[in-house]
Chain A
Amino acid sequence: MRFGRAMLLLAMAFVEVGILLVALPMLTLAFAFGMVFLYPPQVMMVRWAAELTRRWAREWAGVEIAPPYLPKPPPVQPQPDGWYRHDRTLYKTPRVPEWSNRWKWLISDTASWRDSLWLLWDPMVKITLAPLLILLPRVGVRLYALWARALLAPTAASLLAGRVRHLDRVRNLANDTQAAEMRRIERDLHDGTQARLVALGMTIGAVEELIEKDPKAAKALLAKARDASADTLTELRRVVRGIHPPVLAERGIGDAVRAMAMDSPLRVEVDVDLPHRPEAPVEAAAYFAVSELLSNAARHGRAERARVDISQHDGDLRITVEDDGLGGADPAKGSGLAGIERRLAAFDGVLALHSPPGGPTTVTMELPRSLPEKGSSGAVPKMPLWKTCVVVFLWLTAWCPFFPQGMVAAIFKVFSIDEKAWFLALYLPEPWQWPVIALMMLVGGTMYAAAVLIPATHSQKSQWAPPRLSFNRC
């Protein structure tokens, strides 16, 4: 099995040489002779080989190599008049703009050039590794995967570019969601509260006119006005609940979900284990997500019972909602799931759905780094006492071997100053003096380096890590 894989890798070297023999003339023709149409197929061919290698590295050696390519350009959309625009030229068909976009996409991607570089070297690396691949296939394949990662993995810059693109998309989604919410609230206030207040004002105006002529009728109208104001308040309460539920503001996500569970037609069990309250926007997003899931369970899933579990894992907020409904939920079918995903995405949150037909449905949501960690948030983790003591000791003593016993003794020796003072090395026999001076300087230097490195390596552990974006659906 392992041997077979190693053989397959070696066989691939020959395919690569073949690709190389075709690709090089294609590149030459494309750029030296202007036959640009040869470039895209050449890139695609190289990408195929690179993708295959990435897959093997992942499946055989467990070395994860993320594809570094820029996303495909979106299809060209016609203008309202039916023409296709590219820069300052209009086209009747989308063919030319499509082609230019594709060209730009491929040539501007540095990953294309890194792929080519990899292809150029790969057969040679494989042949060098051949003895190892044959004798120790396991080690060989792993070593090969590490080499492949060096050139095939995304660079820090392209990772960052990917992150920016992701944030950009998420920001747009968040803005859209927010705008839609605003419109809904505006509509609610406009059609409900505002209209009722207008009616109330008119009733009071009528009372004003009637009060002297017909006090009895005025009194009846006033009673009506009072009822109308109570109705307006009820309406307003409903709107407020939709914007930010009062219990959420007062007690936080745990009790808000408990209150929601009590009002739900389902029998909902709620388990909350949170040491701190998450930030307010995260809380609201999580609350509305749970609310949507419970109402989905009751409406579409015809569930009777549900369980909500809210907990924290290393600063991530994790919420699991389980119901005993029909299952078969599918975000693509336009239940509120896609909306929840959009809401969560604004906080880098992810949603995993497990809903086989026949149920039960389990939805797990995770909002990364939304909870303050133990102690103050964002601060560098505190060092244990012994480490602090060592660092202080190093700073206090490192000067002694480094300067007087090392540097100064060396200067005395270089200029042959006939003074020994307390410089240990100068009391030793001649052949030992230089080595001891060097040793002293080395010891001092190492102590300084350690004093700097101990705190530095300690704070590194809290560095930012990319979010895990794993959407898995069944």
Chain B
Amino acid sequence: MLNRVLIAEDLYLLRDGLVRLLQAHDFTVVGAVETGPELLKALIELRPDVSVVDVRLPPTLTDEGLKASLEARRKIPGLPILVLSQHVEQLYARELLADGTGGIGYLLKDRVFNADQFVDAVRRVAAGGTAMDPEVISKLLASNARNEPLAALTPREREVLEVMAEGRSNAAIAQRLYLSESAVAKHTANIFAKLDLAPSDDDNRRVLAVLTYLNSR
């Protein structure tokens, strides 16, 4: 079971809340750090199964958390990290996705409100999957507005693509969009054909292919 989690957050209340929330869902919190340098050290030494990291951390209160995460993933490729932020930016999403390995998440802090979905996202990232905020996905799609293969998708296929890009499995897409799993599988096959991507049965690999595709424009 992948449940050793590291938390990096400078606000005491939120850090404490995250620790409690994750402990309540059978995670073992191996560390809770406050600053960027501490985070980088902990990431490399503890190698947690998954880390929940705030973008803005002391001492500079800029993008310290993001920088430490990217640095750690350069040293340990695929180290699962879920980045939380008060705002989501395509620029940061693209930087996080640039190495093309999984185990990465980028969510608005608001998503913590919905505990089940948040814990689900943490588990997905721990298992090497992705968890992208719907807002990131809609921005990515918007900046792909002039992309012809994407414009050729039917509205239903587009919906499936959006949910898939968030990092969901076919089963989860089916549940969210009230479709049968076989219908989702059919839509997915169509999407991959239209975007000229190699089909894959593995959920994680499929999501990464889509994100890399959106990212390349």
Q: By CB atoms of chain B within 10 A, which of A229, A255, A258, A262 has the most?
A: A262
Q: Which of A233, A247, A249, A263 contacts B139 (CB 8 A)?
A: A263
The reply on B90 being an interface residue by CB < 8 A is yes
The reply on A241 being an interface residue by CB < 8 A is yes
Q: Are B62 and A249 in contact (CB under 8 A)?
A: yes
The reply on B75 being an interface residue by CB < 8 A is no
Q: Are A229 and B113 in contact (CB under 8 A)?
A: yes
The reply on B142 being an interface residue by CB < 8 A is yes
The reply on B56 being an interface residue by CB < 8 A is yes
Q: Are A237 and B87 in contact (CB under 8 A)?
A: yes
Q: Are A233 and B90 in contact (CB under 8 A)?
A: no
B71 smallest CB distance to A (angstroms): 15
Q: Are B143 and A262 in contact (CB under 8 A)?
A: yes
With contact pairs A263-B142, A263-B143 given, residues A247 and B91 touching in the complex (Cβ less than 8 Å):
yes
- Name the residue of chain A whose CB is nearest to the CB of B113: A226
CA distance A241 to B91 in the complex (A): 15
Chain A residues numbered 236-275 whose CB sits less than 8 Å from any CB in chain B: 237, 240-241, 246-247, 249-251, 255, 258-259, 262-265, 267
Q: How many residues of B contact A (CB 8 A)?
A: 21
B54 smallest CB distance to A (angstroms): 12
B216 smallest CB distance to A (angstroms): 13
Q: Which of B62, B86, B113 contacts A251 (CB 8 A)?
A: B62
Which residues from chain A contact B143 at a C-beta distance below 8 Å?
262-264
Count of A-B residue pairs with CB < 8 Å: 46
Q: Are B139 and A246 in contact (CB under 8 A)?
A: no
The reply on A15 being an interface residue by CB < 8 A is no
Chain B residues numbered 118-138 whose CB sits less than 8 Å from any CB in chain A: none
The reply on A230 being an interface residue by CB < 8 A is yes
With contact pairs A251-B62, A251-B63 given, residues A259 and B87 touching in the complex (Cβ less than 8 Å):
no
CA distance A265 to B144 in the complex (A): 9
A471 smallest CB distance to B (angstroms): 34
A interface residue numbers (CB < 8 A to B): 226, 229-230, 233-234, 237, 240-241, 246-247, 249-251, 255, 258-259, 262-265, 267
Other A-B pairs beyond A233-B109, A247-B91, 19, CB < 8 Å: A226-B113, A229-B113, A230-B110, A233-B108, A234-B110, A240-B86, A240-B87, A246-B87, A247-B89, A251-B62, A251-B63, A259-B89, A259-B90, A259-B91, A262-B91, A262-B143, A263-B90, A263-B143, A265-B145
B interface residue numbers (CB < 8 A to A): 55-56, 62-63, 86-87, 89-92, 94, 108-110, 113-114, 139, 142-143, 145-146
Cross-chain pairs A/B with CB under 8 angstroms, 21 sampled: A226-B113, A226-B114, A230-B113, A237-B87, A240-B87, A241-B87, A246-B87, A246-B89, A247-B92, A250-B55, A250-B56, A250-B63, A251-B62, A251-B63, A258-B91, A259-B89, A259-B91, A262-B139, A262-B143, A263-B143, A265-B145
